[in-house]
Amino acid sequence: KLENATLKAELGRATWKFMHTMVARFPEEPSQEERKTLETFIYLFSRLYPCGDCARHFRGLLSKYPPQTSSRNAAAGWLCFVHNQVNERLKKPIFDCNNIGDFYDCGCGDEDKKKGD
Ligand code: FAD
């Protein structure tokens, strides 16, 4: 089947939004288990992302720049950096990772609630 660049870009935008929003909610001081969960998620994601060429390229980035999971800041900064690596390759504008703070708001309204509430 022919490549459809519009659909591929739409999937990319939705995926990046989800990923950046997910790490923006990652614990500031994660437990070992939370760190492992994020790391495992990222590697499984890189096996399952439906655009095969994108996934292959992303796996290359992972081997060069392993996921950083020591804190929310580390995880958000790492994801911003690897997204910029993709941007560079696709000749897209580079995002200022210092501005990532409030950019990804999930709108969930439960930021301060404890797990299980
Ligand atoms: P996107 O790159 O989708 O970004 C969406 C929005 O996020 C931007 O408008 C901006 O507001 C914000 N943003 C931009 N950069 C950052 C950053 N560094 N950190 C935080 N926020 C940021 N497409 C291909 O054609 N070839 C590929 O090999 C390819 N690989 C991909 C690999 C992965 C893992 C993913 C998720 C997507 C990949 N894509 C690939 C899709 C591509 O990255 C874009 O999503 C798509 O081209 C749409 O681009 P866009 O200009 O709308 O912005």
In tens, the pLDDT along 65-80 reads 999 999 999 999 999 9
Q: What is the CA(45)–ligand 1 centre distance, in A?
A: 15
Candidate from 28-37, 57-66, 71-80, 102-111 with smallest mean pLDDT: 102-111
Nearby residues of 81 by Cβ (< 8 Å), 6 or more positions away = 65, 97
- Going by the DSSP 8-state scheme, the letter that residue 30 receives in this structure is -
**pLDDT, tens only, 1-21:** 788 999 999 999 999 999 999
Nearby residues of 7 by Cβ (< 8 Å), 6 or more positions away = none
Residue 46 pLDDT exceeds 50? yes
DSSP conformation letters of 50-69:
S-HHHHHHHHHHHHHSPPP-
Looking from the CA of residue 79, the nearest atom of ligand 1 is 19
Cα–chain-centroid distance for residue 37? 14
DSSP conformation letters of 72-98:
HHHHHHHHHHHHHHHHHHTT-PPP-GG
Residue nearest to atom 45 of ligand 1 (CA): 12
Mean pLDDT of 26-38: 98
Residue indicated by tokens 């739409």: 10
Spatial contact of 72 and 24, defined as CB atoms under 8 Å apart: yes
Residue 29 pLDDT exceeds 50? yes
Q: What is the pLDDT of residue 116?
A: 47
